[in-house]
Structure 1
Amino acid sequence: MRARKWGRRGLLVAVAATIVLSVGAAARSAVPGTPSPPRLPAVTAGTLDARYAVNRAAIAASERAAHRIGDRDRERHLHQLAISGRHFLSFGAAGDGQAVEVLGDLAAARRIAVVVPGSDTTIDTFDYLGSRRASLGGGARALHDELRRVSPTPVAVVAWYGYRAPRTMSRDVLSTARATEGGSRLRRLLDELRLASPAARVTLLCHSYGSVVCGSAVGGTGRAAPSSLAGLAVFGSPGMGVGSVAELHGIPVWAGRGADDWIAGAPHVSLPAFGGTLGFGADPVSRPFGAKHFDAGTGGHSDCLAPGSLPLRNLALIAAGRTSEVSRG
C-alpha cells in the first residue's frame, strides 16, 4: 500500500474519490489468447517437480501470447519469471495474474516462511515494485538468504501472490472484501504446505494489506488455526481486521513498523460499507492489541525486507523459531 497519512474524515473522502478512480485502476483485461491456468497435480512431496514443470511451461506459453499481441511490458515480466531455476507452485496470467514462487526445497524444509504481499501486487510487479527490494520476489529472495543464515534446519520461503490484491487507488484497498477472499485461499495454501512437508512449521509474514489477508485466514469463529502454523508477523500493517490477538486462536503474533512508515497515520476504524467492512480495526502495534513487538528499524513502508536490514533479520529469526533473539521494538 502506498499513500500519505489519512484522517478519519480523509478516509471517507478517499472512499468517495476512489469509487471513481477504481474504474481506471481496475485489473487489466486478460491478454487475448492467454492460456488457461494449467491443470496441476495435487500437492504432495512427490508432485512438486511436476507442478514446477507444468507452471514453467505455462509461463513460457503466456510469454509467447504476450509477444504475439505486442504486450511488451507483460512479455518482459513473464520472461523474468521464466528464468531457469525458478519454481512456481501456482501460476495464472489472466488479468493481474497469480504467482506462487517457492525458494528452497519445500519437501525437505522444517521451517517455511510465507510472504503475503499488500496492494499493487501483480505478476507485472512480482519482481519490481518501485524497487526490487520492495517487490514480492525481491523481498522473498532476501528473506530466503537471511533465513538460511539463521536457521539450523532446512528452510523454504513461499512468495505468495495467490489473491486478488487491490490497487492502492481503488475502493477495494479500504475494504476487507479482497482480504476475506484471499484469506480462504491462504488457508488452502497452508493445507497444501502441510501435504508437501508434514513436519514443517510455517510462519506467515504479512505486509500492509497482506496483514488483513492473514487476519482473515487465521481469525474467525467456529474454526481452529491451521495445525502447522507456528506464528505470524505483520509489518506496515493498517490493521488485521480483528480487535486483538485474542481473535487469532492462540497463534503467536508479532508486529513491527518502521519509524518512517506512513501507515502510522492510518485511522483504525471498522465501519460497515459496500456490503462489507471499511477499515481494518485495531492497530497491531498498539499495546491493547496484544502482539509482541519486533524492532522494524528506521525505514519506510516497504523497507522491512531490505537486504542487510534489522527488520529482515528479526523476521528471519521469527520464521526460524529463534524468537528469544529477536530485538524488540
Structure 2
Amino acid sequence: MPRASRRRRTGRWRRALLAAFVTGAVVIPLSAAAQPEIPAPVPAVLPPLTAGTLEEVYAANRANAAEASRMAGADGDDRRAAADRGMADPDRDFLAFDGRGSGQATEVFGDLAHADRVAVLVPGSDTTLDTYGRFRATALNLHRQLTRDAPNSRTAVVSWLGYDTPRTASGTVLTPTRADQAAPHLREFTRQLHTITGREAHIALVCHSYGTVVCGRSASGLAVSDIALIGSPGTGVDSAAGLHTPARVWAARGADDWVGGVPHVSADLFGTTVGFGTDPVSPAFGAQVFAAGGVGHSDYFTPGTASLANLARIVLGATSEVTHA
C-alpha cells in the first residue's frame, strides 16, 4: 500500500476512534453530573499577597473554611463539612479558599516567603474540595521528597486548585474549555508568587492529566523555569515550541498509565475542538522526556517511584541528575 494511502487510513482511524471516544462521553446525561449547590460564605476579603501579609491571608482563609464547614454541616452535607473543617486547621496555610460549589483552594507547604524554589501543582479532572485530600497528598509527598533530597534548600510546594476542573465522565474533559477559563487565573497566580518570593525565585509548574492542558494554555508569558507534564492527554499544541515559553518543558508517562491508550489527536467535532493533539512524550512534541517507571495515572507522586524522584530533581534545578526514559 502506498505510504500516502496508509497515512490517510491512519488519519481516518484516529478520527473515528476519537469520535467514538467523544460520543461515549458526551451521551452521558449532564444532569447526572450536576450536584446541589453547597452553601458557603463568599471568599474572605484579603490584602494584596506579599511576604508580609501571608499570616493575615492564612488566618482569613482558615476562618472562612471554618464558617464554610458550619454552613455545610447545617445543610446536612457532612462530607463537605469535614473537608472544610480540616482546611480550617491552624497548622494549614491557604493562599485562597472558596467553599462554594465544587470549591477551590490553594495550599502552601513550606516557608513560601523565603523560598527560592517553588513547585506549583496543577491538578486534573475530578479534583474538588470533596476529593482534595488526594491532591493534597501529592503535594505533601513532593515536599517531603524535596526536603529529603535537599535539606538545606529553601523550597515550597503549592497545590493550586484554582479552577473548576472537569468531570472525567463528561464531554467537557475532552475539550479545552475549562483550561481556557483557568489560564488567566494561573498566569495571575504565578505573578503573585513572584511578588511574594521575589523575581529571582525559580517556579516550576508540575501539571497532571487535564492540568497539562491548563498549563499548555497558560504557558506563553509565564515567568517559570520549568513545566513538567505528567500523564498528559496533550496540551492543545503540536510541539513544545508551540507553547511559546522559555521554560524547560518536560514530559513523562508511566507504563501503566491508561492515558497512553487515548488518541492523541485533535478534531473539530459537533462544532467543538475535541482532543489535545500531539502526545507530549513523543519525539515529535520535543519535550525532555524523563523516566516515570511503571506507575499508573494517579501514582506519579508515590514515594519511591522514579517519577517522584525526577520531579524533585526538576524542581530543585538538578537537571543533570534527571533520568531519562
TM-score, structure 1 as length reference: 0.90
- Whether 1:114 and 2:120 are equivalent positions in the alignment is yes
* Aligned-partner Cα distance in 2 for 1:309–1:296: 7
Q: From 31, 43, 48, give the equivalent of 2:38.
A: 31
**Could you report, residue by residue, the CA deviation over 1:218-266 in whole angstroms, capped at 9, with x for unpaired residues?**
04xxxxx223x11110110000111111122232111011011110011
For residue 29 of structure 1, report the CA deviation from its aligned partner.
3.2
Helix, strand or coil: the match of 2:225? strand
For residue 27 of structure 1, report the CA deviation from its aligned partner.
5.0
Q: From 35, 44, 59, give the equivalent of 1:53.
A: 59
- Structure with the greater alpha carbon radius of gyration: 2
In structure 2, what is the equivalent of residue 286 of structure 1?
Answer: 282
For residue 274 of structure 1, report the CA deviation from its aligned partner.
6.0
**Could you report, residue by residue, the CA deviation over 1:81-120 in whole angstroms, capped at 9, with x for unpaired residues?**
2223110100101110000000011110000000111000
- Whether 1:136 and 2:135 are equivalent positions in the alignment is yes
Structure 1 residues 113 and 275: alpha-carbon distance in aligned structure 2, compared to 1, 3 A threshold: farther
In structure 2, what is the equivalent of residue 178 of structure 1?
Answer: 178
List runs of 5+ in structure 2 lacking aligned partners: 1-12
Helix, strand or coil: the match of 1:288? coil
- Which structure: greater helix fraction? 2
For residue 153 of structure 1, report the CA deviation from its aligned partner.
2.2
**Could you report, residue by residue, the CA deviation over 1:187-237 in whole angstroms, capped at 9, with x for unpaired residues?**
011011010101311000000000000000004xxxxx223x111101100
In structure 2, what is the equivalent of residue 244 of structure 1?
Answer: 239
**Could you report, residue by residue, the CA deviation over 1:141-192 in whole angstroms, capped at 9, with x for unpaired residues?**
0000001222352000000100110000011100001011111111011011
Kept in 2: contact 1:22–1:171 (CA 8 A): no
* Aligned-partner Cα distance in 2 for 1:274–1:57: 45
In structure 1, what is the equivalent of residue 48 of structure 2?
Answer: 42
For residue 25 of structure 1, report the CA deviation from its aligned partner.
4.5
Helix, strand or coil: the match of 1:100? strand
**5 Å matches for 1:66-145?**
66-127=72-133, 135-145=134-144
Kept in 2: contact 1:177–1:277 (CA 8 A): no
In structure 2, what is the equivalent of residue 203 of structure 1?
Answer: 204
Which runs of at least 4 in structure 1 moved beyond 4 Å after TM superposition? Answer: 273-276
Kept in 2: contact 1:27–1:95 (CA 8 A): no
By relative contact order (CA 8 Å, sep 6+), the higher-ranking structure is 1
Helix, strand or coil: the match of 1:253? strand
**In the alignment, residue 238 of structure 2 is paired with which amino acid?**
G
Kept in 2: contact 1:7–1:265 (CA 8 A): no
For residue 137 of structure 1, report the CA deviation from its aligned partner.
0.2
RMSD: 1.6
Structure 1 residues 63 and 148: alpha-carbon distance in aligned structure 2, compared to 1, 3 A threshold: same
Q: From 9, 13, 18, give the equivalent of 2:25.
A: 18
* Aligned-partner Cα distance in 1 for 2:261–2:136: 27
Structure 1 residues 186 and 59: alpha-carbon distance in aligned structure 2, compared to 1, 3 A threshold: same
Structure 1 residues 72 and 274: alpha-carbon distance in aligned structure 2, compared to 1, 3 A threshold: farther
In structure 1, what is the equivalent of residue 161 of structure 2?
Answer: 161
Kept in 2: contact 1:25–1:169 (CA 8 A): no
Kept in 2: contact 1:62–1:93 (CA 8 A): yes
Helix, strand or coil: the match of 1:240? coil
Q: From 289, 312, 317, give the equivalent of 1:321.
A: 317
**In the alignment, residue 160 of structure 2 is paired with which amino acid?**
W
Structure 1 residues 60 and 22: alpha-carbon distance in aligned structure 2, compared to 1, 3 A threshold: farther
For residue 295 of structure 1, report the CA deviation from its aligned partner.
0.5
For residue 312 of structure 1, report the CA deviation from its aligned partner.
0.5
Structure 1 residues 202 and 25: alpha-carbon distance in aligned structure 2, compared to 1, 3 A threshold: farther
List runs of 5+ in structure 1 lacking aligned partners: 1-5, 128-134, 220-224
For residue 268 of structure 1, report the CA deviation from its aligned partner.
1.3
TM-score, structure 2 as length reference: 0.91
Kept in 1: contact 2:139–2:157 (CA 8 A): yes
Helix, strand or coil: the match of 1:287? coil
* Aligned-partner Cα distance in 1 for 2:92–2:174: 33
Length, aligned pairs only: 310
Helix, strand or coil: the match of 1:308? coil
For residue 13 of structure 1, report the CA deviation from its aligned partner.
2.9
**In the alignment, residue 287 of structure 1 is paired with which amino acid?**
P
Kept in 1: contact 2:250–2:288 (CA 8 A): yes
In structure 2, what is the equivalent of residue 215 of structure 1?
Answer: 216
In structure 2, what is the equivalent of residue 130 of structure 1?
Answer: none
